[in-house]
Chains A and B, each alone.
Chain A
């Protein structure tokens, strides 16, 4: 059996030349279910190529040019974009005006005078946007219940025999409900980076899921013409 990360565990890359700040971060996030990698500003590029990250904490201190260059590089990094990664920029108040936010990846900032609890909270919001289910949550919607700890989906109390990708697709849509998701986004976030096939496979899997759901739930899995799919909550 391959080892794999649980649904909760996320990967954070901290880019900073400031030893004191690094220690502060290490203490602050010690209780969070994350694996942390460290890099200096000059080393950031190389370190990013070595792995995938969910969130990057970027602290450039007083090096404004290095900061802007790094943001630009992050923004043009296809892996980060594909993984829907986010960047948290730590910056001093007097440099805020110079800050340019990236175009493609999600970004937030935090002032260097912020408290530990603020840092942790901002990181948490970036790492686990509010829709993401906890690992042992039971999600209910109409006749449908999904137990994410045991991967069991029930309709009117009766188990559905879903294949893995059908399950993963359904859970993603239900936990990111009432929003249209493009096929490309679904491929990226459900199938993951390993999949090189075309986006038509999403349609095929949606049909399989609908065929297995009860009629009421099947109707909630809506096709958004020219766009993709969404789950309409009851």
Chain B
């Protein structure tokens, strides 16, 4: 891009600002950020030849015998980290991971997303996403002692959490991650910060940065922030609703159609895309909801989706279509409400886009909008309406994912098979454990 001037920009800025360390960031298959530091003098060489590292200890990368990996920094992602000292500051760049022979490494989630984005581009589309990540603040990481008892949109005076949220928003903006809204969520000590929409790859990088930033800022104030999907019994869990839209390459919103005969202002492309999400949701849920705990959030009664359906007003549907506001064609989008913030954002965006594009390719017909509150419907009514449910637990989700040729195709054999293996082990471990609920319920009576 721009004839290498971006690299010159990085090298000059490193020198001008007295930056001593540049952190190279990449993500393992499970969505955990990995980082190693490179000194200022090594950066020029790293642009040219990459930085070698041992991939065998990274989850989902390689086995011992083929462990040599090379990280190539993406100069466009160069960013000074605002929570580090100004003098001898620290910056970061996201990296692409390649093999020593220069070929793309298929276990790199960033590459998996790039691949499906390239496919979208071939079809004439670019994916934009705006995620809303919810999280809880607790006093520490050992207990779930909350900081406040506030509720949705509550303005709580003298509230440490709103200072925290403000600091987090300011830090995010310094990192080039503009924030749309931030507010108190429904549960006590639960907060939400919504990011302004951006291209999918940049947004996946932003989600990684966001999760780190929320935790860093909390740590500086001596509290703990968690994205665990369902930390408290009887309270709402934390989701990551993902607003998404396709733009054509001229910058028009491909989801908008003023002449939609159904009056939703949605194009055929949008309807096929939603139909694709609905059809493949059971297969991609293992990616968007990756933990045993994720499925404790996907239960009726806590504003999280359970049923595979779509609606405009009904927030219990899995896909929501926000109402169109006149003159806001560009904002036409759909919102997938099932994912949670512990997912690997590269893989999550990849499977959403992959499912949506599949819907377009297969010209899937969109089921009717679900208008009643689906949670009130009986099993028979649900079946009559053709509404099925998301996987009930990680075991079921991983089974559906394993059998899915579509997911294997989107993510590639390497990531697919590693993910299945890893998550099966997690599930197998979980089911051997007896929960406090079981002891409470059964011990004294059985």
Contacts and interface: CB of A to CB of B under 8 A. Distances in A.
Contact of A192 (B3, B10, B121, B197): B3
**Interface pairs A-B: 5 shortest CB-CB:** A199-B251, A2-B4, A161-B80, A211-B173, A164-B6
Contacts of B4: 1-4
Interface residues of B, number: 46
Contacts of B44: 1
A200 B2 contact: no
Given A204-B198, A210-B178, 11 more contacts: A5-B3, A150-B13, A161-B79, A163-B78, A163-B79, A192-B3, A197-B121, A200-B330, A204-B202, A207-B196, A211-B178
Nearest to B254: A198
A5 B5 CA distance: 9
B219 interface: no
Contacts of B202: 204
A192 B2 CA distance: 6
A197 B249 contact: yes
Nearest to B173: A211
Contacts of A192: 1-3
Interface in A156-203: 159, 161-168, 183, 190-192, 194-201
B12 interface: yes
A164 B76 contact: yes
B199 A164 contact: no
With a 10 A CB-CB cut-off, give which of B3, B48, B174 has the most chain A CB atoms.
B3
B82 A151 contact: no
A167 B9 contact: yes
A191 B1 contact: yes
B13 A151 contact: yes
A166 B197 CA distance: 16
A79 interface: no
Interface string B284-314: 0000000000000000000000000000000
B125 to A, nearest CB: 9
A183 B251 contact: yes
Interface string B224-251: 0000000000000000000000011111
A4 B176 contact: no
Contact of B249 (A150, A152, A164, A196): A196
A169 to B, nearest CB: 11
A207 B175 CA distance: 12
A122 interface: no
A212 interface: yes
B78 A164 contact: yes
A208 interface: yes
Interface residues of A, number: 35
B16 to A, nearest CB: 5
A141 to B, nearest CB: 20
Contacts of A197: 121, 126, 199, 249
B343 interface: no
Nearest to A5: B3
A152 B75 CA distance: 16
Nearest to B89: A161
B26 interface: no
Contact of B251 (A151, A152, A196, A198): A198
B264 interface: no
B228 to A, nearest CB: 29
Given A150-B12, A161-B79, A204-B202, A1 B7 contact: yes
Contacts of A165: 1-2, 6, 76
Given A1-B48, A164-B76, A208-B176, A198 B2 contact: no
Contacts of B80: 161
Contacts of A196: 121, 249
Nearest to B179: A211
B176 A191 contact: no
With a 10 A CB-CB cut-off, give which of A2, A161, A167 has the most chain B CB atoms.
A161
B273 interface: no
Interface string A1-41: 11111000000000000000000000000000000000000
A200 B128 contact: yes
Contacts of B6: 164-165
B168 to A, nearest CB: 13
A150 B9 CA distance: 8
B194 to A, nearest CB: 13
A105 B443 CA distance: 85
Interface in B8-45: 8-13, 16-17, 44
A201 B197 CA distance: 10
Nearest to A213: B173
Contacts of B12: 150-151
B365 to A, nearest CB: 28
A208 B77 contact: no
Contacts of B174: 161, 211-212
8 contacts: A2-B3, A4-B5, A5-B3, A150-B12, A165-B76, A198-B251, A200-B330, A212-B174
B324 interface: no
B126 A150 contact: no
Contact of A152 (B13, B47, B175): B13
A101 to B, nearest CB: 28
Contacts of A168: 2, 5, 9
Contacts of A183: 251
Interface in B60-101: 75-80, 82
A163 B2 contact: no
